[in-house]
Chain A
């Protein structure tokens, strides 16, 4: 193990506004004209065309608003205040591959803004030995950072996070970082900037795939994740700070908010059972009930995407179980005057409609074939439009041709989302009472073949000069 890695950087690109607004305007006007034409021309189908026009208006509004997202910036005075903040990072570890964890710690200690404390909580891993990683970093971490490495019996991710939240009453900001997530060099510095606004209680980082180019599966996941983050989440962030899902891979929370809600966080139950999943979405919900939950497009992390079909589907099942529960919680606890509540309500309706249409198509394929082809084509066209937002972020290890390739993959990603992942949400809803580290019982989602390739000798880390 080298303990040194080359970490790509990522920058939020500023779109050419005139071009964007002209393009967005033309597309919206053309599509609106088409909807109006259908409503007028085919009165027999007026109900469905009106419904679709409303759905189109919602999607178009979301897309337009998403274009308004800009990275948060701060004045010199605000930056000075942010520099004074005590930042504590929690990394819960469960059966993570040691070399991946080693890279995650390396990237954390190579940040342009170092954290004040890092807590690595081994949640009773059974399949890995971390002694080499632990001993190295306990000896060679930056002296200004307090590093704790603790191991407890397995109790789940929320408990592993709570051990940090509960033990640092002075923390101004808690950072949750997954054990397979490598931060871009300025991720912490950028992620803290929105906290200059006192109404901001949580900040979502942007998640890219470390192993994006590994396989078709990882590419598809990367495309879908990027489109979702830069359309749905961007719009939510712009619309009053209404981000509903902070990525569990990398997110930041105001310390006071976490301490206020900690008991409810670990005490959450469903049908009498403790809720183990949906940690990130629950913390986001707490933030939303106290103020704004935003996204910082310039705070980027690189997560490990599942590389096999089995892991992909297990991860998705785990997420959908969390989503099923959080949908109920959002409808219950968010204000009906908020963007977040309306987004949840509308997507609940559209999801039920989607499932019933899917069943109808399957039940009468002969009649439905033409409709299914048209619906998929329109979905692909619409997703391609939404995918124009993918270029809002650029990573140093990708060329223009890689970005173009990702753009061309959009219809495939749409098919995967529509025909496989969205129907699987039903399974997640039906089985939402099953909780736990579903994905990792058989080990981490990726193995060392990926990490070894990525681990190359880079510049000597500066803190090696300060051996204790």
Chain B
């Protein structure tokens, strides 16, 4: 871990290492999480009717 950390810190100054191919998978994860989180936001904002929150009971 320490060696890796030093490599990365050095990398800030002397960049050059190619990214790992697994990054494509990671990119997909981020990409598909966006509509999923948007759905959560929309449901929370406009569709949530299963609980009573800030409204006076």
Query: Does A pair with B?
Result: yes
Q: Mark A332-374, 1 if CB is under 8 A from B, else 0.
A: 1100000000000100110011001100100010011011011
A377 CA to B37 CA, complexed, in Å: 27
| Chain A residue with the shortest CB-CB distance to B54 | A333
Contact check, A353 vs B50: say whether CB atoms are below 8 A apart: no
**A109 to B55 CA separation, bound complex (whole angstroms):** 37
Chain B hits for A275, CB < 8 A: 51
B20 CB contacts on chain A under 8 angstroms: 367, 370-371, 374
Are B51 and A51 in touch, CB under 8 angstroms? no
A375 CB to closest chain B CB, in angstroms? 8
Chain B, interface size: which category? 35 or more
- Contact status B15-A333, CB under 8 Å: no
Contact partner, B22, options A38, A267, A370, Cβ 8 Å: A370
Chain A 401-457 residues near chain B, CB threshold 8 A: 411
Q: Does A268 touch B at the CB level, under 8 Å? A: yes
Summarize A's interface: helix, strand, loop or mixed: helix
Answer whether residue A463 sits at the interface, using C-beta atoms and an 8 A cutoff: no
On whether the beta carbons of B4 and A373 are closer than 8 Å, the reply is: yes
B15 and A381 contact, CB distance less than 8 A: no
Q: How far is the CA of A367 from the CA of B44 in the complex (A)?
A: 36
If A345-B37, A348-B37, A377-B1 touch, whether A270 touches B51 (CB-CB below 8 Å) is: yes
B5 close to A357 (CB less than 8 A)? no
Q: B12-37: which residues lie under 8 A (CB-CB) from chain A?
A: 12-13, 15, 18-27, 29-34, 36-37
Tell me which residues across on chain A come within 8 A of B7, comparing CB atoms: 377
B52→A367 contact, CB < 8 A: no
Please state if B40 and A331 are interface contacts (CB–CB under 8 Å): yes
Output the least CB separation between B17 and chain A (Å): 9
Identify A367's interface contact among B9, B21, B31, B41, CB under 8 A. Answer: B21
- Contact status of A377 and B22, CB under 8 A, knowing A41-B15, A264-B54, A411-B1: no
| Contact status of A367 and B37, CB under 8 A, knowing A34-B12, A353-B30, A377-B1 | no
Among A42-50, A251-259, A298-306, the stretch in contact with B: A42-50
Contacts of B51 in A (CB 8 A): 268-271, 275, 325
Given A45-B23, A271-B50, 7 extra CB contacts under 8 A: A30-B12, A30-B13, A48-B30, A329-B53, A368-B22, A371-B22, A377-B4
Residues of A within 8 A of B (CB): 30-31, 33-34, 37-38, 41-42, 45, 47-48, 51, 261, 263-264, 267-271, 275, 285-286, 289, 325, 327-329, 331-333, 345, 348-349, 352-353, 356-357, 360, 364, 367-368, 370-371, 373-374, 376-378, 380-381, 411
9 smallest CB-CB distances across A and B, nearest first, come from: A267-B57, A48-B27, A331-B44, A349-B37, A353-B33, A352-B33, A356-B29, A270-B51, A328-B44
Of the A-B pairs whose beta carbons lie under 8 Å apart in the complex, a sample of 10, sorted by A's number, is A31-B12, A34-B15, A47-B27, A275-B51, A285-B54, A328-B48, A364-B25, A371-B20, A371-B26, A374-B8
